[in-house]
Amino acid sequence: MLAKIRSDFWFEFLSSPVTVVSAAIIVVLVLACTFAPLVAPHTPFDPATISILDNNMPPAWVSGADGRFLLGTDMQGRDVLSAMLYGGRISLMVGLGAVALSTLIGMAVGLATGYFGGVTDAVLMRIAEIQFAFPPILIALLFNGVLKTTLPADLFARAAVPIMILAIGLAGWVQFARIVRASVLVQRSQDYVAACQAIGLPTIIIILRHITPNVLGPVLVLAMLQIAVAIVTEATLSFLGLGTPLTAPSLGALIQAGSQFLFSGIWWVVIFPGAMLLIMVVAFNLVADWVRDYLNPRLR
């Protein structure tokens, strides 16, 4: 027998430098954004700490810069780096929250349709297919638009993050439902499920304890890919002015606000948030690709 030097996971992970770098970027970004109040040099959205006199400062390495603002300031004198960290926090929250919601709904629907089949399957999957016919961004727009008109303005502004999570999460569950259903159909025909039935285990235990762990692999990969998609969707909505309010902007809202100044030479207010969004999304995608390959034994 061959000795196991270290676990497969670490071996495969460390032998892919791109993945290591991407994972490191994600860790750094997630930590920096999560602890933004501690890490950020300024509190950008507290009117008491900002001064209009500091407005439009370029990044620290450009002539005429102020050393206090590493990546410069915007037209209201807010520190761009701090705004990015706070904005990234909102983007990540929306991305993770929306995917968690999609996964939850999608798994429930996928497990039920795949296991029970018949009428349950027909009804739920037809609903899923109807929703699938609409682009997710359109569905998110719809949820968002309806809530924006029905809720009072101040409530909508305060609940912006949960609303975005709801809108994007409800738009994305169909893919999860499909992938889970397909895996459940495979697992259901395995003899261990018949053995559970012969033991007399209740259906809910068979589904949750036996089938669910066996369908988690593809779900994990899809979830990681969907985090990137959800972050981009949130940025798109915010860029269109439908997302987070400017008093607590996400990365998308920062890009939208900054884009108006792009051609007046104040490039830093839009380039840096844009670059952060790009790096974040690419890093999530690269790690997700690796996880997919890792979980697929035929590719190893």
Partner 1 sequence: MTGPLLEIEGLRITFPHRFGDFTAVQDFDMRVERGEIVGLIGESGAGKSTIGNAVMGLLAQPGRVSEGRIALDGQDLTRLAPGALARLRGRRIGMIFQDPMTSLNPLLTIGDQLSESIAVLQAVPATQARRMAVERLAGVGIPEPEMRMRQYPHEFSGGMRQRVVIALALAGDPDLLIADEPTTALDVSVQKQVLDLIRAICVDRSLGVILVTHDMGVIAETADRVYVLRHGKRVETGPTPAVLGRPKADYTRQLIGAIPRMDKRETRFSDPVRRVGEIDRWLLQGQSSEATGDYLSTTPLTMDFANPRSGFWGRRSVFRAVDVSGLSIRRGEVLGLVGESGSGKSTLGRILIGLQKPSTGSITYADHGALAAIRSAPARKAFRRDVQVVFQDPYSALNGRMRVDRILAEPIRYHGLASGKEVGRLIGALLERVGLPPESGRKYPHQFSGGQRQRICIARALSLRPRFLLCDEPTSALDVSIQADMLALLMELKRSLGLTMLFVSHDLAVVRQVSDRVAVMRQGRIVESQAAEMVFEAPQTDYTRMLLETAPRVEGLHALEGTLTERTPV
- Closest approach, Cβ 14 to partner 1, in A, equals 12
Which residue ranges make up the site for partner 1 (CB under 8 A)? 2-5, 11, 190-192, 194-195, 197-201, 205, 209-210, 213-214
- Report the half-sphere exposure of 163 (CA within 13 A, side-chain side): 24
Report the SS3 class of residue 69: coil
* Closer by beta carbon to partner 1, 59 or else 217: 217
Q: Exposed, middle or buried: residue 14 (CB in 10 Å: 0-12, 13-18, 19+)?
A: exposed
- Closest approach, Cβ 283 to partner 1, in A, equals 27
User: Euclidean distance between the first and final Cα of the chain, in Å?
Assistant: 20
* Closer by beta carbon to partner 1, 68 or else 209: 209
Q: Exposed, middle or buried: residue 62 (CB in 10 Å: 0-12, 13-18, 19+)?
A: exposed
Q: Which residues contact 22 (CB under 8 A, 6 or more apart)?
A: 282, 283, 284, 286, 287, 290
* Closer by beta carbon to partner 1, 194 or else 282: 194
* Closer by beta carbon to partner 1, 43 or else 120: 120
* Closer by beta carbon to partner 1, 3 or else 153: 3
- Closest approach, Cβ 1 to partner 1, in A, equals 10
- Report the half-sphere exposure of 91 (CA within 13 A, side-chain side): 36
- Closest approach, Cβ 300 to partner 1, in A, equals 10
- Closest approach, Cβ 13 to partner 1, in A, equals 14
